[in-house]
């Protein structure tokens, strides 16, 4: 995939109407609907501010949550959950939609920008059309939740065209949604000159750069829960990395494949052969693949379980691996010390329990002390680094969970592929 895409700076937006796809999929309090974290709204500000400084008229859009766009599918979904279809009213469906309105986002965005944000009550309906038509340079309009339109997730060309018709330029800054080929993330680019905003630009430059032309040695640190959810990442990084470090729950399938005893640890029997193949492949390619020499295990999966240090190949029958041990920490820190680039996906242990967060913390510390370009991808990995206080010490923490995983898998991202090449 070509990561070298035109940005908002490579195109004339002065005085133009710009359709800006943002990632305003913010977490909300279940009962009050209040936005509990406005990081994603703040992340969009540099691009919005730039467009306003250029005197563009900004038509922002985003999805929020997973609304069910038609009453029929709502009834079907509720029936699947065991509800009597006859008892489901249209009223109830409309209420479920209202909960996912972007109106609270418009309010917060307006506070952050210090200027009015006009809210449309639909996506491409009469209200959006009228407000977009009347929008003046320097003004901001926010369309309603794109997933209120059933054509959004189907990438319906008619919806994409209707969105495009309101604007003259398309700017995408929703990195968290670029792995989805939806009408507002990809389809619309067929009808307008399409470029990236600053968020996507940074993701492409740093992650794309590390994948396409890394400063070596490239060390990939892979952890998290399951081998099976990381096959694509392992496969792709094995092709480009100089060293691969394994930690987290996926470790035990590798250890078992090597003849170790893993006790009650997370194990995916179906992937034993795969792990052996990967070990073999790494050897053939001259890629160093490191497994932890020691393990911190516990008798039960709980925050106050007693941490027990064991040799990784001999985890007792009544124990499960929870974190990497001190010897592994030393070896892993040594491996990243002289790295040119480190790509990290997946915590080294059950970091949510402080007693088992030491491995993840030590790796974060090692990264913060190295001169390498350090890249964190994956939702839980980003959360771990933030929670442990290392966020500002990393070169880049990807803003997209699923999108960054697919990026590291080397997959084509529809929301990036559709942008103009430089």
Token pair belonging to 348 = 């080294």
* Contact stretch for ligand ADP (CB under 6 A) within 96-104, 109-117, 279-287, 342-350: 342-350
The 262-301 contact track toward ligand ADP, x by CB under 6 A, reads ----x-----------------------------------
Q: Is 345 annotated as a binding residue?
A: no
Residue for token digits 């969970």?
A: 401
The three state secondary structure string of 340-386 is: CEEEEECCCCCCCCHHHCHHHHHHHHHHHHCCCEEEECCHHHHHHHH
Binding residue (CB under 6 A) for ligand ADP from 69, 166, 322, 366: 322
Decide: 219 and 372 in contact? Cβ < 8 Å. Answer: yes
Q: Is 115 annotated as a binding residue?
A: no
Pick the piece of the chain touching ligand ADP (CB under 6 A) from 123-131, 163-171, 339-347, 365-373. Answer: 339-347
Say if residue 176 carries a ligand binding annotation: no
- Three-class SS of residue 63? coil
The total number of residues written for the chain in this structure: 422
For ligand ADP, give the closer residue by CB, 170 or 407.
Answer: 407
d(CA 163, CA 170): 10
Q: Which is nearer to ligand ADP, 184 or 345 (CB)?
A: 345
The β-bridge relationship of strands 396-397 and 373-376 is parallel
Find the binder of ligand ADP among 176, 224, 325, 400 (CB under 6 A).
224
Q: Residues 89 to 128: which contact Mg ion by CB under 5 A?
A: none
161 is catalytic: no
Based on the shown chain and the rule CB under 6 A, indicate whether residue 321 belongs to the binding site for ligand ADP: yes
> Which partner from the list Mg ion, ligand ADP, none does 214 bind, CB cut-off 5 to 8 Å by kind?
none
**Residue 112 annotated as part of some ligand binding site:** no
- Rounded alpha-carbon distances, angstroms, from residue 66 to 96, 230, 406: 10, 25, 20
Decide if residue 232 touches Mg ion (CB under 5 A). Answer: no
CA proximity to 207, closest of 378, 7, 421:
378
Q: Does 155 bind ligand ADP (CB under 6 A)?
A: no
197 catalytic, yes or no? no
Beta bridge partners of 375: 343, 396
* Residue 381 binding ligand ADP, by CB under 6 A: yes
Least separation, in Å, of the C-beta of 353 and ligand ADP? 8
Distance CA 235, CA 118 (A): 46
Find out whether 222 and 345 touch, Cβ atoms under 8 Å: yes
**Closest separation between CB of residue 237 and Mg ion, Å?**
17
Lookup result for tokens 């995939």: 1
Q: How far is the CB of 172 from ligand ADP (least distance, A)?
A: 23
| 379 binding ligand ADP? (CB under 6 A) | yes
For residues 380 and 406, which CB has a smaller minimum distance to Mg ion in the complex?
380
Q: Does 380 bind Mg ion (CB under 5 A)?
A: yes
Is the CB of 346 or the CB of 415 nearer to Mg ion? 346
Determine the Cα–Cα distance for residues 226 and 235; give it in Å rounded to an integer.
14
Q: Tell me which residue of 266, 206, 267 sits closest to 396, measured CA to CA.
A: 206
Active site residue 40: yes
Compute φ and ψ for 58, nearest 5 degrees: -100, 120
Host H or E run for residue 42 = helix 39-53
Q: Which one of the spans 50-58, 92-100, 137-145, 346-354 is the region binding ligand ADP (CB under 6 A)?
A: 346-354
The residue number with the shortest CB distance to Mg ion is 380
Does residue 260 bind ligand ADP (CB under 6 A)?
A: no
Question: Is 387 a binder of ligand ADP (CB under 6 A)?
Answer: no
On whether 66 is known to bind a ligand per the annotation, the reply is yes
Q: Is residue 7 within 8 Å of 196, Cβ to Cβ?
A: yes
Ligand-binding annotation for 379, yes or no, is: yes
402 annotated active-site: yes
**Site for Mg ion contains 379 (CB under 5 A):** yes
Q: What is the DSSP string of 190-254?
A: GTS-EEE-HHHHHHIIIIIHHHHSPPSSEEEEE-SS-SGGGHHHHHHHHHH-SEEEE-GGGHHHH
* DSSP labels, 287-309: -EEE--SEEEEESSSSTTSPPEE
Interacting residues with Mg ion (CB under 5 A): 379-380
Binding site, annotated residues for substrate: 23-25, 40, 63-66, 147, 180
Catalytic amino acids?
40, 226, 379, 402
Q: By the criterion CB under 6 A, which residues form the site for ligand ADP?
A: 224-225, 229, 248-249, 266, 321-322, 345-347, 349-350, 352, 378-381, 405
């Amino acid at each position: 995939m070509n990561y070298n895409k035109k940005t908002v700076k490579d195109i004339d937006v002065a005085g133009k109407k710009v359709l800006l796809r943002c990632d305003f999929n913010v977490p909300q309090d279940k009962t009050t609907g209040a936005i509990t974290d406005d990081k994603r709204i703040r992340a969009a500000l540099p691009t919005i501010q730039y467009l306003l400084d250029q005197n563009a008229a900004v038509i922002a859009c985003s999805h929020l949550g997973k609304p069910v766009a038609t009453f029929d599918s709502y009834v079907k979904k509720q029936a699947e959950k065991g509800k009597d279809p006859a008892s489901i009213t249209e009223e109830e469906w409309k209420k479920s939609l209202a909960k996912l309105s972007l109106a609270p986002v418009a309010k917060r965005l307006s506070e952050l920008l210090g200027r009015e944000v006009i809210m449309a009550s639909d996506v491409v309906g009469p209200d959006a059309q009228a407000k977009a038509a009347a929008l003046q340079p320097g003004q901001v309009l926010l369309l309603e939740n794109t997933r209120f339109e059933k054509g959004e997730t189907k990438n319906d060309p008619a919806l994409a065209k209707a969105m495009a018709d309101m604007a003259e330029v398309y700017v995408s800054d929703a990195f968290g949604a670029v792995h989805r080929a939806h009408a507002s993330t990809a389809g619309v680019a067929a009808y307008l000159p399409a470029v990236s905003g600053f968020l996507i630009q940074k993701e492409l430059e740093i992650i794309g750069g590390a994948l396409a032309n890394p400063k070596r040695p490239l060390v990939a640190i892979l952890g998290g829960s399951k081998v099976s959810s990381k096959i694509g990442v392992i496969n792709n990084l094995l092709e480009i990395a100089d060293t691969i470090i394994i930690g987290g729950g996926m470790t035990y399938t590798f250890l078992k494949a090597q003849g170790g005893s893993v006790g009650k640890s997370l194990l995916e029997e179906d992937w034993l052969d795969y792990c052996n193949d990967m070990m073999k492949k790494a050897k053939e390619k001259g890629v160093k693949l490191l497994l932890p020499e020691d393990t911190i295990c516990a008798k039960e999966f709980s925050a106050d379980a007693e941490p027990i240090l064991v040799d990784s190949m001999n985890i007792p029958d009544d124990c499960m691996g929870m974190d990497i041990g001190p010897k592994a920490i030393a070896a892993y820190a040594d491996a990243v010390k002289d790295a040119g680039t480190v790509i990290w996906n997946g915590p080294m242990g059950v970091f949510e329990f402080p007693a088992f967060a030491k491995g993840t913390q030590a790796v974060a510390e090692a990264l913060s002390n190295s001169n390498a370009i350090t890249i964190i991808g994956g939702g839980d990995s980003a959360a771990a680094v933030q929670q442990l206080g290392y966020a500002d010490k990393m070169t880049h923490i990807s803003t997209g969970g699923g999108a960054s995983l697919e990026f590291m898998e080397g997959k084509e991202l529809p929301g990036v592929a559709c942008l103009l090449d430089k």
